Structure 1
Amino acid sequence: MESALKTRTRLYTPQDYIDVMTSCRKRNKLTATKMECLDFVGVYKMMKTIVKRKKDIEGNAISWLKTKEINIFKNRPDRIFLSTCRGGQTHEVDLNKRPKRGSINNPLTLSRHYEQLWPQGKPISQPKLDDIKSLLHLIPSDATKYYENLTGARDLKDDVEGFDGSIDFEVEDKE
């Protein structure tokens, strides 16, 4: 993929990156799935419902500490599938089944398990959006619509992990 990116002169929109991914191999072509706003869901509500789960649907013990992989499928939103290694044996957990020891959870519906994170799209920080819009004259006209549809929020901080705006290294003045 890196080699294919080096030969591309146009990379302005997500579709441009998808095109690179799907055409970078001659054999065993990659498949790219473009996710939409509604595909991003939060699992905080679901996590609260599985706190006391100790067994899967077959009664086998679940080791949460050894769990390496958790899968959730669109066609089975009321189930989670746990595995202790990638591609290994899975334990199926029913989110609607009440765990033992007097849980207060009632059987839940899909809307109570997951919440939409950004139904209208994830906004970016307003300074970043202003910077992008100031560069629109450098972007080909057929790609500007993507950038014009971006939204910003004044109270949002950039979510670069570990970066709080302060420089964590020394800067030398070269005079």
Structure 2
Amino acid sequence: MLSLLAKFKPQRLLSQGNLSKYAISQTDFSNEVNPQKSEFFPIPEKDETEKDKLFSRLEIEVKSADPAVLKSYSWFATNAAEHLGIEIGNCWAQRKANHDRLTLLKSVHIYKKHRVQYEIRTYYRYMTFHKLTESTLDTFLEYIQRNLPEGVGMKCTKVEIQELPDHLKEPPKQAQSQI
């Protein structure tokens, strides 16, 4: 740590006329380890010839016990998509919650007549986004997943656009001769 701090040299900013401020100039780091390539966190190198994948649709299902949190989160996700230039599709929620009821005895051993009923309500919200590239999709998903509130679950479904295989591009030669 000290060797890293020793490489920064404070210099006074005389050109701005304020002698109390300091600027930090950075020296050459050519002998340091390259932060891009690490043995602990290898970063895969992408070929320049490799193309970005295209996705026609991204479907996001979000569920929680609080509908207000879901509404706020869907606003956050659509607002983030607008800033990234992603085409926003439908955003909707179910009218009723999914009720899971569990009935248990009050007493463990006796009094079968006395029971307690517990209920868990789960609310769902659905969002769709259209026409994404792989890099935009990865950035968007990472951003909204990092800002996912507590107690909220998310399920993402990607629909990729792929090229037709060669055997489907052209009809067989026998079919062409009969026409």
Query: TM-score, normalization: structure 2?
Result: 0.18
Larger Rg: 2
By relative contact order (CA 8 Å, sep 6+), the higher-ranking structure is: 2
